[in-house]
Structure 1
Amino acid sequence: MTPSTVRPAAVAGLFYPGQAAVLRTQIDGELAAVKAGSTQLPPKMLLVPHAGYVYSGPVAAHAYATLAGARGRIRRVVLLGPAHRVALRGLAAPTASAFETPLGRVAVDQAAIASLADLPQLSRRDDAHATEHSLEVQLPFLQSLLGDFTLVPLVVGHASPAEVAEVIERLWGGDETLILISSDLSHYLPYAQAQASDRATIDQVLHLDPALAHEQACGATPLGGALLAARRHGLQPRLLDLRNSGDTAGDRARVVGYAAVAFESPDPLGAALLARARNAIADALGLPTGPEPGHHALDEPGATFVTLRRGGELRGCIGTLEAQRPLAHDVRLHALGAAFRDSRFAPLAAWEFESLEIEVSLLDPSEPIAASSEAEALRALQPGVDGVVLEYRGRHATFLPQVWEQLPAPVDFLAALKRKAGLPEDFWTEALRLARYRVRKFAELRP
């Protein structure tokens, strides 16, 4: 490998530290700050932001933390990001045989790129890569976590989601291949406006809707193609973090939005929990039940919420915050509670069962939110990610992370949670206790 074939780092010292030791320290710190979730296999695909590390690093770390156990397992990364500095039709691959950062060189998988040679939307353009930051900023995180891997770097210009998806399909591979999509969300909106816009964008992403505009995400084109591919392969999206530069770097006048999303193969534990929830309700109604796949975690203590909907409207929701019984028993108990003992609704009737949509949320243990003021508490909340528990002198209330879909602004979310606990919206005292938890959400794929 000669120096002339290496694409040198273009934004080291600008978007991220240019010295290897400082860079490693920053990445290690960002990853250490991420609360470890439930152990799972690495995702097949990730959505990660690409701003300077001081702005987007804390959000990117939530995506990269899912790769903590992937060293030696993931050996190839297909990396797609938008073209910021060169007008480009289609997708551009480099001729360089390696990309360089302060942490060393990453070999380009030229054989994989050669396999795309017959696609008219692909070209070889080193100028598209020379100063492009959307791909480069991902490499130090990948180098830190994966060690030795090869790279398929693709800058995406004007193209259709279908054209991007066709390229991704060619490179899909197996467990050895990670698909990485680099994109920020809204740009330079006021803080509250950005929160609402980014929440709407992420709702589309979580529904695998590829019809994204570039005002929503600078990487709308590669992301749209990735969402098409995710739908074809049955991947399930999971929101890991959603914030903006006003949360990470202070200035809220004009912010840029960032999200971390994992796209994973269907979890066998989810299928096992959903089957038991549906069968518990069917059995209580005297209706036929179906098969129940097994899973080793079912006999372990676990805490679930079961949410029922019909036609998209809430029909019942019951659960517990702390693990008190085996997971299989817990999910059956709360399925029956949501169907027949939620005081907000009449007991479920047999005629409603066929159109029932069931969702199971598996809760991680909660952790306290340290806040001496309401403003501090609002800054600590992570919209779309945190479930929140409120306690005050015997009053308790909780909202699952799904509630952010209706209340995307932290101030509205917390106000509604206080109302649920029977407190005034403007109530605050240092004796009020808040805690956060995360969930793994499993929903049935109904026709």
Structure 2
Amino acid sequence: MNQIRPAAVAGAFYPGESGVLMHDVKAMLAAAQAHPSGARTTPPKALIVPHAGYIYSGPIAASAYAQLIPARATIRRVVLLGPVHRVAVRGLALPGSVDSFETPLGIVPLDRQAMDSIADLPQVVDSPPAHAWEHSLEVQLPFLQQVLDDFSLVPLAVGDATPQEVAQVLERLWGGEETVIVISSDLSHYLPYDVAKRVDHGTAQAILALDAPVSHEQACGGTPVNGLLLAARHHRLAAQLLDLRNSGDTAGDRDRVVGYGAFAFFENRGHEH
């Protein structure tokens, strides 16, 4: 029997009605495509995207997901990592016997073969509770459902782990052009607007330089971000900043803001052997 992880934050972090959700996601993607960030002939290998409510961070996330549209028929697997917010775990948690994740836009099947390929690693655990209410992964799915055709998902809820442990998992799942890696992370939290802009600018420069470690004060998803930065250095990826704003720029006041950044990582084909 097919076991489905139902949508937990539809109607809260993003619209719960499929028609409204599809309209909003399409509109954010269209706005991102109207103001592209640099010309690239190849799709990114990895993205860093925020995970707040869509009214706050959706436009920033859209600038990253728009990069995948030209490869919508090529990308067949998404390796999605985000930090745990509700249930503490040691390592990187898979969702147990779940076969698919659901959103108002439909069902996303999980890549059981890929999940099995990392199950022997000591830092990989099963934790259905870590996934049950976790928004950092779920809010990415409607965007992925809109920009890709048929794809399967490897969802990892990241708790207490080292950058090396995360990078080892990414290495197992790296794949070729059929695989894209998505890291879900916001940036600074609850700083005054001008302070947040300075802090997030510094964090963005560190990410662009592939300069780990990024602290959890700089990025709530610092653990998966740092793992990606290690892997990106190993594979000689080039990072590009697509958007850098905060909730004071989108839908919130400027007294205490949350920072959002969108980054894409591209394979530098001139360095391939």
Q: TM-score, with normalisation over the residues of structure 1?
A: 0.59
Residue 174 of structure 1: SS of its match in structure 2? coil
Distance 2:28 2:57 in 1: 10
* Partner AA of 2:206 in structure 1: Q
Distance 1:118 1:30 in 2: 39
State the Cα distance separating 1:38 from its structure 2 match.
2.3
Corresponding residue number in structure 1 for 2:260: 258
* Residues 1:214 and 2:224 aligned together: no
* Aligned pairs (5 A) from 1:275-294: none
Q: Give CA-to-partner distance per residue, 1:158-207, whole Å, 9 cap, x none.
A: 01000000000000000000000000000000000000110111111011
Distance 2:246 2:104 in 1: 27
State the Cα distance separating 1:210 from its structure 2 match.
1.5
Corresponding residue number in structure 2 for 1:141: 143
CA-based RMSD: 1.1
Corresponding residue number in structure 2 for 1:70: 71
Corresponding residue number in structure 1 for 2:5: 7
State the Cα distance separating 1:40 from its structure 2 match.
2.0
Corresponding residue number in structure 2 for 1:150: 152
Aligned to 2:193, which of 168, 191, 194? 191
Corresponding residue number in structure 2 for 1:415: none
**Is the Cα contact below 8 Å between 2:49 and 2:261 reproduced in 1?**
yes
Aligned to 1:21, which of 19, 30, 49? 19
* Partner AA of 2:93 in structure 1: A
Corresponding residue number in structure 2 for 1:234: 236
State the Cα distance separating 1:267 from its structure 2 match.
5.8
Distance 1:163 1:74 in 2: 25
* Aligned pairs (5 A) from 1:385-424: none
Corresponding residue number in structure 1 for 2:87: 86
Distance 2:117 2:40 in 1: 35
State the Cα distance separating 1:250 from its structure 2 match.
3.7
**Is the Cα contact below 8 Å between 2:111 and 2:153 reproduced in 1?**
yes
Corresponding residue number in structure 1 for 2:53: 52
State the Cα distance separating 1:71 from its structure 2 match.
1.3
Corresponding residue number in structure 2 for 1:31: 29
Distance 2:165 2:123 in 1: 7
Aligned to 2:173, which of 150, 171, 194? 171
Higher Rg of the two aligned structures: 1
Identity of aligned residues (%): 63
Distance 2:6 2:146 in 1: 18
**Is the Cα contact below 8 Å between 2:56 and 2:252 reproduced in 1?**
no
Distance 1:63 1:90 in 2: 27
Distance 2:16 2:166 in 1: 32
**Is the Cα contact below 8 Å between 2:185 and 2:219 reproduced in 1?**
yes
Residue 115 of structure 1: SS of its match in structure 2? helix
Count residues in correspondence.
267
State the Cα distance separating 1:80 from its structure 2 match.
0.2
Corresponding residue number in structure 2 for 1:114: 116
Task: Give the unaligned 5+ runs of structure 1.
Answer: 272-447
User: Which of structure 1's runs of 4+ aligned residues deviate more than 3 A?
Assistant: none
Residue 179 of structure 1: SS of its match in structure 2? strand
* Partner AA of 1:64 in structure 2: Y
State the Cα distance separating 1:18 from its structure 2 match.
0.4
Q: TM-score, with normalisation over the residues of structure 2?
A: 0.96
* Partner AA of 2:102 in structure 1: E
Corresponding residue number in structure 1 for 2:162: 160
Q: Give CA-to-partner distance per residue, 1:399-427, whole Å, 9 cap, x none.
A: xxxxxxxxxxxxxxxxxxxxxxxxxxxxx
Q: Give CA-to-partner distance per residue, 1:110-160, whole Å, 9 cap, x none.
A: 111111121110101100000000000000000001021000000000010
State the Cα distance separating 1:94 from its structure 2 match.
1.0
Aligned to 1:248, which of 244, 247, 250? 250
Distance 1:214 1:108 in 2: 28
Distance 1:172 1:267 in 2: 16
State the Cα distance separating 1:251 from its structure 2 match.
0.7
* Aligned pairs (5 A) from 1:419-438: none
**Is the Cα contact below 8 Å between 2:83 and 2:157 reproduced in 1?**
yes
Distance 1:182 1:127 in 2: 19
State the Cα distance separating 1:39 from its structure 2 match.
4.7
Distance 1:174 1:10 in 2: 32
State the Cα distance separating 1:28 from its structure 2 match.
0.8
Distance 1:64 1:84 in 2: 23
Higher relative contact order (CA 8 A, sep 6+): 2
State the Cα distance separating 1:209 from its structure 2 match.
1.2
